Amino acid sequence: MVALSVILGAVVLLLAVLVAGLLRSHADILKALHDLGAGVGDPVGDAHVHTSGPAQAGAQAVPLTMGPALAADRDSTSAPTVAGVTPTGDALAVAPATAGGLTLLAFLSTGCASCAGFWESFRRPEQLGLPAGTRLVVVTKGPEREIPGEVAALATPGLAVLMSSDAWTDYEVPGSPFFVLVDGTAGRRVGEGVANHISQVAELVRRAEVDTAAFTLDTRPGRDVGIDGPARESANDQELLDAGIRPGDPSLYPTSIEDLYGPPDARMPAARHHVRRAG
Amino acid sequence: MPALFAHGIGAGLPTGFEGRIFKRQGSGIEVANAVAQFATFALPEEVGDFGGGAVNLMGNDDIFTVLFEYGPDSLGTRLFAHQGLPRTLATSDFQPHVLRRGLTGQSGTQWFFTEAGRPFTFYAVLGSHARRSILVPRVNRLLEGLAVEPTAAPAASGAPWN
């Protein structure tokens, strides 16, 4: 019984020493924060009293910040242009605040486990559930932090992927995955946050789209011009090939008006016919 | 000012511009050279070299430009005799009939030249010819920020169609 009491007393004594050590450590941390001007419940006036004393003459109140400070012309809703490189070595810049419509910036990494589901979802863009016209741009950290080959392996063709560490700083991204929705018509961020599944993100975008559509008038025409884009140029190339005209064909490099329209007596057959009949 | 650089072409983007500098995958007889596209609206992922699929999305206050490199076979030809990228364009340089795809209200300009020993064309489209006095200065600000470096090694011979 005596032995048990002695052991119990020793344990209590040991725990007391540990608690005292923790309290001392906590006090040191609070003191350090206090000296930095970020003490909990520490009013500015109180800091002034402490820093103006002779013993604290060298101390200055320094605001506690997380990461680099934002530029003076930016705030939590600004949406600066994102510029960087693609995994294949091209350059790409996206200006979501001035481009009109909604742009969803998906800040992803190659290594984070929770990002894998999003990379996989982006392989099937038709199943994402994003409103039509929403532009999706994946932003990874720059080539100094990510391996372009690994990013390229995850990026499906047709998906805009941009590598830029500056973009993570500009948008104050705390970690990945992180999503920012920008309304280009209003020129500002309208939503941001973390999600576990693409359906959560799609729901956020759908709600924003409803709000945007209710209060904006898009003046861009969106003209129907039939076959367009690279498909139009490919069709033109095929037409030329079918006609036996290959790159470098002399007919592509006319040097005179005759090269374009033939000799003068061969032009405008209808007019020539008319002249003959009149004569 | 956001900056882009790839394939020996650099660009400082004025406010409101976005862009891309890329090379298409060379296929068969076609040789891939550098293409730089800049616009004041959201460029679709798939855009023709000279704006096919994009110019029809332009609003009245929008601008689309492309700096397109030709193959080395074009070097020394009369078409590319002018030396240097145009840096200042006038409103009179833009005409509605200078459009690769004529869309009502728009106008364009196109210049062929050699810069840093590389043959290029610069093509620009204004969303509204009537607003050229406002839009052309923006094009000029973009031109001020463009830079071209000589290529390290000549590309394979061949002439792209565009």
Q: Is A99 domain-assigned? A: yes
Contact call for B60 and A222, based on CB within 8 A: no
Cα A234 vs. chain centroid, distance in angstroms?
Answer: 31
Query: Across the interface, which of A93, A160, A224 has its CB nearest the CB of B13?
Result: A93
Q: Is A126 domain-assigned? A: yes
Top pLDDT among B55 and A278 is at: B55
Contact call for B56 and A90, based on CB within 8 A: no
Per-residue pLDDT band at A99 (split at 50, 70, 90): low
Model pTM? 0.69
CATH for A118: 3.40.30.10
Strands (E), chain B: 3-6, 9-12, 18-23, 34-39, 63-69, 107-115, 118-126, 146-148
Mutate to test the interface with A, among B57, B69, B157 (most CBs of A within 10 A): B57
- Mean pLDDT score, A203-214: 76
Q: Is A210 domain-assigned? A: yes
Per-residue pLDDT band at A220 (split at 50, 70, 90): low
What tens digit of pLDDT does each residue of A242-266 get? 788 877 777 777 777 677 666 766 5
3-class DSSP state of A236: helix
Q: Is A39 domain-assigned? A: no
What is the domain range of residue A194? 82-215
Decide if the complex's ipTM is over 0.90: no
Task: Give yes or no for A85 touching B (CB within 8 A).
Answer: yes
Number of domains present in the structure of chain A: 1
Q: Which of residues 117-136 of B touch A (CB under 8 A)?
A: none
Q: Which residues pair with B65 in a beta bridge?
A: B38, B124
Would you state the structure tokens that stand for residue B32, as one six-digit string?
A: 């891939």
Q: Which residue has the tokens 């009949």?
A: A277
Question: For chain B, what are the domain ranges?
Answer: 3-148
A94, closest residue in chain B (CA to CA):
B18
How much of chain A exceeds pLDDT 70, in percent?
A: 70
Top pLDDT among A189 and A232 is at: A189
CA distance A245 to chain B (A): 10
